[in-house]
Structure 1
Amino acid sequence: MANSDNDVLLIYDNSSPRFSFINVDPLALERSLRPSLGLDSPPFSYNQTFLLTRNSTAPGEGGGRTRGFSFEFEGMSFALFGQFSPTMRDRALHGQFFVSPPLSEGRHNLMFEVAEEWKIYLMLDYAVVTGGQKGQYNKAALVVMDDGTSEEVFYWGQWTPRTFGLETLNIPIYLPHQNNTRRTTTIGTGFRFRFSGTSIQVYGVKDMDRPGAYNLTWILDDGGLQGVTYRVSAQEASDNTSKFAAPEYHPHWPMMSFSSLEPMVHTLTVNLTYIEGETQGFIFDYMAYQPTFSFGWEAVVQVVGVGSVQ
């Protein structure tokens, strides 16, 4: 999903009221959209919710029914994330499967329908919208900030960027957001992010292929330091290796969340302070925050420079 550095990208989970579902079993929908959050859960989807369109209601007399969903949004383009393939056996990678062409700024409605007799496999995870300058953002809108954003996220220390490309076509893997991550195994490495919002969530990748642990310190503004240890046991790694032949298999891992913040500019500082196991490490993917601005033209790039890092 191509975008300029000044674009505001908004992320909408499949549980957002902007999605409406057609002929989908209500019980299956409820189970699919029920999150299972926690550091001990093996995530692979945003907010750990997903929807299979094959969980549809039975067709009526004469058949000919369709199943699917609609997505209403305000912006200039959008992308859908999840899995989409012609059959259950021929599953595609879990990642971006549809991107729209550039659209006129305004309100749009996508209709995605599949005939009942078609065996198309669709797992709907989330959508990302390129917001316009005039559209008004409601309280459900979250701005998504990828790890590849250069101006608004300042990195120091030793990071190893990784972009997932065509080599992933031959292995079962759930792709991280925008197909890229940053990884570090060096103590003292970290990043700082400045944003204008009332809440923020940070997501990483849980590397279930390698046992070990690491500790991150989190500082929001001038508040106290929070230290959190993230661990993968040898048993977890062994179980994962026996089931999946892919490292870095679990993206969308909720690592830290700050809520009920004052509507102002905040600064988040993250630092790697401890690591156990040579192959374990902190893999950063993206952040999502609730903005204080209501329109795209009110968004201000909060640049974090070298001089602001203590």
Structure 2
Amino acid sequence: MVDAVTVIVDDQALAAYSIQVPPLVGDPGGFYPQFTSCYKTSMFIPLGEITTSWNWALEFEGTSVALFGVTPPIQYNQTIRIADPSVDKTNATQPNSYRAYTYPVSSQGGQFFTSGVVHNDSQIRIGLSNADGVAIDYALVTAGNLTNLQGQTILVDDRSSEIFWDGNWTMVDNYSLPVQCTIPSPQAYKESKLLLNSTDSVNFIAQMQPHANSTHSSNTVGDSFTFHFAGTSILVSGVTPGPGLPSDWLLHMEFVLDLNSTTRVFSPTSDPIKPHDIYFESTDLSPGNHILVGRILSVAGSPLPAAQIDYATYRPSFVTVAEKPVFPAPEVSGSATATSSSSIPTPNPSSATPSPSPSHAKSRAGAIVGAVIGGCILVGCFFGILWLVRRNQRRIRNAPNPHTEPFTSTAPTIYSEQDGPSSQLGTLPHSKRPFSPLHAASLSVASNSNSALSQQQNNIAAEIREPQNSPVDARLRELQAQMDAIEVRVRDNAPPSYSGEA
């Protein structure tokens, strides 16, 4: 289930929603005094004409509307006349059809009227009459599928499933805070005075509630909340973290908007503890998706303060509810995370693609590293085998040609009888060498042995050139060892030296 989209309309913007239909004359007139606890610092106090009660009709685009403000103290009439669009017998353009409603409680700040739901979300009209002493703070309109959201401000309550709470947050509800208020006196309404003085005003204590009468509260270091939105501005509001002077406390918080960090330190001031206290605000954001994370960094003092988050507002960068992105829920680690009764929204194909979780990313990274290392080992083995094969091929090419006589040698030098001992050394061809029968026998044996060794070496060389099915590396080492042994035997079977005979 996805939460409804609600648009907040500030009191100073209500005149733009007035209906100009006789006998209505638009807004009833009035002024906007500064209040210490309200949305955007002011409330609208409507005043009628002399000796007459005022009538006021407003038209919104949505399916229902609620009014927030301060109900009149007991000095004033506790009944207001309202035209509810969900009631067939009421008509906002006909004041005589307005029905009487009694305020829930006198001198109370918060929601004092909620209309029924209408099926046609293109127009929703309400009418107000006979409401002296009321102060209107803002209207909250539930948007329909066709509601134009361009230029509007969306409010997201702390109970909404769009805000994710990580840690030991506790939802606190059904409480109010005393706040000093001043409104025109009953006599001022009768005379329609727009300027107040000490004799024309009434001072009273109003019990102010946070928006929708709930907040999320925590004083645990490390607790945080996350809010995804698509818009061009963001504001986070709540209840003052602790009482005013002369108390001594400190709350240090960090707000990270799209990886840009801002820290704020809250401490006692002369203002009383109240709702609608701004915790964080950022305007002129680029249109698109944004992420805001608020985190408690430190708390100190007596009494110990607590972050008390009430709602967030933002200007959307989408035009209709159908275009609103549905963001995935972030991972939270809190052991006692407080959540609202609404379910977490499910991402749709049009929303931003969620980032992989840290554990999944680590698994993918490990698989990639393992594949790279394995590939490197295989490549190294391939080049190692190739190097061994080429090294043995070079040895084969540098070895004597097996088809020529490998033992042809130069005859030892001899002294010629004619030249004498002083003559130069020379060589003779085999056909002219003088040798004895012993020499001939030795040469015959050496020749036969060398022929056998030559044939064995030729066979090994051929086998090197044509590897068998045995493992290449082991076979090459075996063949190399055999060739080395043959070379040793060849050296041992070299032809015997001989000297010339007289």
User: Aligned partner of 1:144: which letter?
Assistant: L
- Residue 270 of structure 1 corresponds to 294
- 1:22 alignment partner AA: D
Partner of 1:94: 109
Separation (CA, whole Å) in 2 of partners of 1:214 and 1:176: 20
Residue 128 of structure 1 and its aligned partner are, at CA, apart by 0.6
2:252 is aligned to 215
* 8 Å Cα contact 2:176/2:207 also seen in 1: no
Higher relative CO (CA 8 A, sep ≥ 6), structure 1 or 2?
1
Question: Percent of aligned pairs with the same residue?
Answer: 25
User: Gapped runs of 5+ residues in structure 1?
Assistant: 37-41, 241-248
CA distance in 1, matches of 2:219, 2:36: 22
Gap change, CA 1:200 and 1:88, over 3 Å in 2: farther
Task: Compute the displacement of 1:265 (Å).
Answer: 0.4
Match of residue 283 from structure 2: 259
| Matches for 1:223-302 after TM superposition, within 5 Å | 223=260, 225-233=261-269, 236=270, 240=272, 249-277=273-301, 278-302=303-327
Find the residue that maps to 1:300 and give its secondary structure. Answer: coil
- Partners of 2:73 and 2:216 lie apart in 1 by 33
> Match of 2:443?
none
- The residue that corresponds to 2:58 in the other structure is 71
- 1:10-37 Cα distance to aligned partner (Å, 9 max, x none): 1111111544463324xxx2x43xxx6x
Provide the C-alpha distance between the structure 2 equivalents of 1:229 and 1:261, rounded to a whole number of angstroms: 23
The structure 2 residue matched to 1:10, chosen from 7, 27, 45, is 7
CA distance in structure 1 between the aligned counterparts of 2:137 and 2:300, rounded to whole angstroms: 33
CA 1:67–1:87 in structure 2 vs 1: closer, same or farther (change >3 Å)? farther
- Pick the aligned partner of 2:139 from 127, 133, 154: 127
Distance 1:296 1:18, change over 3 A: farther
Report the Cα offset of residue 75 of structure 1. Answer: 0.4
Q: Distance in 2 between matches of 1:68 and 1:124?
A: 15
Aligned-pair RMSD on alpha carbons? 2.7
Aligned partner letter, 2:143: G
In the TM superposition, residue 138 of structure 1 has moved relative to its aligned partner by 2.8
Q: Residues 19 and 125 of structure 1: is their aligned pair in 2 closer, same or farther, counting only changes over 3 Å?
A: farther
Residues 125 and 167 (structure 1), Cα distance of their counterparts in 2 relative to 1, 3 Å cut = closer
- 1:80 is matched with which residue? 67
Letter in 2 for 1:94: G
After TM superposition, the score normalised by the length of structure 1 is 0.78
Alignment of 1:26-105 (within 5 A): 29=31, 31-32=32-33, 43-53=36-46, 56=47, 58-59=49-50, 63=51, 65-85=52-72, 87-88=74-75, 91-104=106-119, 105=121
For residues 128-186 of structure 1, the C-alpha deviation after alignment (integer angstroms, 9 at most, x for no partner) is 111000121231x1110111112x21111111211116999xx9520000000011111
Structure 2 unaligned spans of 5+ = 19-25, 79-105, 179-204, 333-354, 359-502
Tell me the TM-score normalized by structure 2: 0.49
Do residues 305 (structure 1) and 291 (structure 2) align? Answer: no
Q: 1: distance between equivalents of 2:250 and 2:154?
A: 30
Q: Which moved more, 1:249-258 or 1:78-87?
A: 78-87
- Which amino acid is the alignment partner of residue 221 of structure 1? D
Q: 25, 28, 52: which one pairs with 1:23? A: 28
Per the alignment, residue 196 of structure 1 pairs with: 230
Say which SS state the counterpart of residue 50 (structure 1) adopts. Answer: coil
Q: SS at the partner of 1:15?
A: helix
* Number of residue pairs matched by the alignment: 268
Structure 1 residues 164 and 82, CA gap change in structure 2 (3 angstroms): same
Larger proportion of helix:
2
**Aligned letter for 1:297?**
A
> How far apart are residue 8 of structure 1 and its match?
0.7
Compared CA separation, residues 12 and 132, structure 1 to 2 (3 A): same
How many angstroms apart in 2 are the aligned matches of 1:207 and 1:214? Answer: 7
Residue 178 of structure 1 aligns to a residue in which SS? helix
Please identify which structure carries the higher strand content.
Answer: 1
Distance change >3 Å, CA 218–CA 92, structure 1 → 2: same
- Residue 147 of structure 1 is matched in structure 2 by 158
Report the residue type matching 1:155 in the other structure: W
Distance (Å, rounded) in 1 between the aligned partners of 2:266 and 2:177: 28
Q: Secondary structure at the match of 2:40?
A: helix
Return the index of the structure with the highest Cα Rg: 2
How far has the Cα of 1:85 moved from its partner?
Answer: 4.0
Q: Aligned partners of 2:158, 2:138: CA distance in 1, in Å?
A: 18
Q: 1:276 and 1:208, CA in 2 relative to 1: closer, same or farther beyond 3 A?
A: closer
Aligned partner letter, 1:228: R
Structure 1 pair 84–68 and aligned structure 2 pair: CA distance change class (3 A)? farther
Amino acid paired to 1:75: G
Aligned CA distance change for structure 1 residues 172 and 200 (closer, same or farther; 3 Å): same
Whole-angstrom CA distance in 1 between matches of 2:2 and 2:174:
21
* TM-superposed deviation, 1:289: 0.4
The answer to whether the 8 A contact 1:11-1:144 is kept is yes
- Note closer, same or farther for the CA distance 1:51–1:189 as it changes in structure 2 (3 Å cut): same
CA–CA distance in 2 between the matches of 1:228 and 1:206? 13
Whole-angstrom CA distance in 1 between matches of 2:328 and 2:36: 31
